[in-house]
Amino acid sequence: MPPYSDAFARPRRKMVEEQLIARGVDSPRVLAVLGELPRHHFVDEALASRAYADGPLPIGYGQTISQPFIVALTLQALSLKPTDRVLEIGFGCGYQTAALAQMAAQVYAIERVPDLFDKGRRHLKEFRFANVFLKLGDGHLGWEEFAPFDAIVLAAYAPQVPTRLKNQLATGGRLVAPLGDAVGQSLVLFTKKTDGAVNRRPLANCRFVPLVKGLSAR
């Protein structure tokens, strides 16, 4: 983990206590990881003082870093084991990717915006994770070469989960995605059963940017 100022220790602790624990996040692993991960490292310096506030922040290119509670809720719902392989769609600035890397065996993360891909990659490089693999591409397609995945997480909303992503989820796997439209969205947990059926459970209302096909030009 890169060096960071102790000046952020108190805001980070307050974030965990008032935003996560107070809202029902009780996974010891999730609380430990987010209690140490320097969120301010993943936002622009001008926004560092707001890094632990209760809400999303802009990270450029029309994208955001998600509200801490939504990240925590997602991680808790995934019920990650140290042996799990995770696919992340839309890694953005890399904050959630860094958390996933500390909770799973391997993380395969895709970002479609070239400049944001470079930005997130720079952030993650400082952590020297050996288990994170990044790809510039269309998240709708997933990463079939390394499928199936024990867990899949989408960081952008869609009317429904792309079929290719469902097909890349292992039996017993968990997938968390924000579903809906520009008016309203719900964070949903999908669990793939042994008979191939997929259970669905809503977690919370949320607000994400849309999942868009294709690549942006540099």
Instruction: State mean pLDDT over 151-171.
Output: 94
One-letter identity of residue 213? K
Q: Give the mean pLDDT of the chain.
A: 93
pLDDT of the residue at 195:
85
**pTM score above 0.85:** yes
Per-residue pLDDT of 72-87, as tens digits, reads 999 999 999 999 999 9
Query: For residues 213 and 180, which has the higher predicted lDDT (pLDDT)?
Result: 180
Strands 132-136 and 106-111: parallel
pLDDT of the residue at 1:
53
Spatial contact of 206 and 70, defined as CB atoms under 8 Å apart: yes
Q: Is the pLDDT of residue 215 over 80?
A: no
* Of 2-11, 67-76, 197-206, the least confident: 2-11
Q: Which of 62-68's residues contact partners 24+ apart within 8 Å by CB, and which partners?
A: 62/209, 63/90, 63/92, 63/93, 63/113, 63/116, 63/209, 64/92, 64/208, 64/209, 65/39, 65/92, 65/93, 65/95, 66/95, 66/96, 66/155, 66/208, 68/15, 68/19, 68/20, 68/34, 68/39
Query: For residues 96 and 213, which has the higher predicted lDDT (pLDDT)?
Result: 96
Strands 57-60 and 63-65: antiparallel
pLDDT of the residue at 213:
66
pLDDT of the residue at 119:
96
Per-residue pLDDT of 99-155, as tens digits, reads 999 999 999 999 999 999 999 999 999 999 999 999 999 999 999 999 999 999 999
Cα angle 195, 174, 117; round to 5: 135
Q: Is the pLDDT of residue 216 over 50?
A: no
Architecture of the domain defined by 6-206: 3-Layer(aba) Sandwich (3.40)
pLDDT of the residue at 15:
98
Q: Grade residue 196 by pLDDT with cuts at 50, 70 and 90.
A: confident
Q: Is the pLDDT of residue 21 over 60?
A: yes
| Residues identified as active-site | 66
Per-residue pLDDT of 5-18, as tens digits, reads 578 999 999 999 99
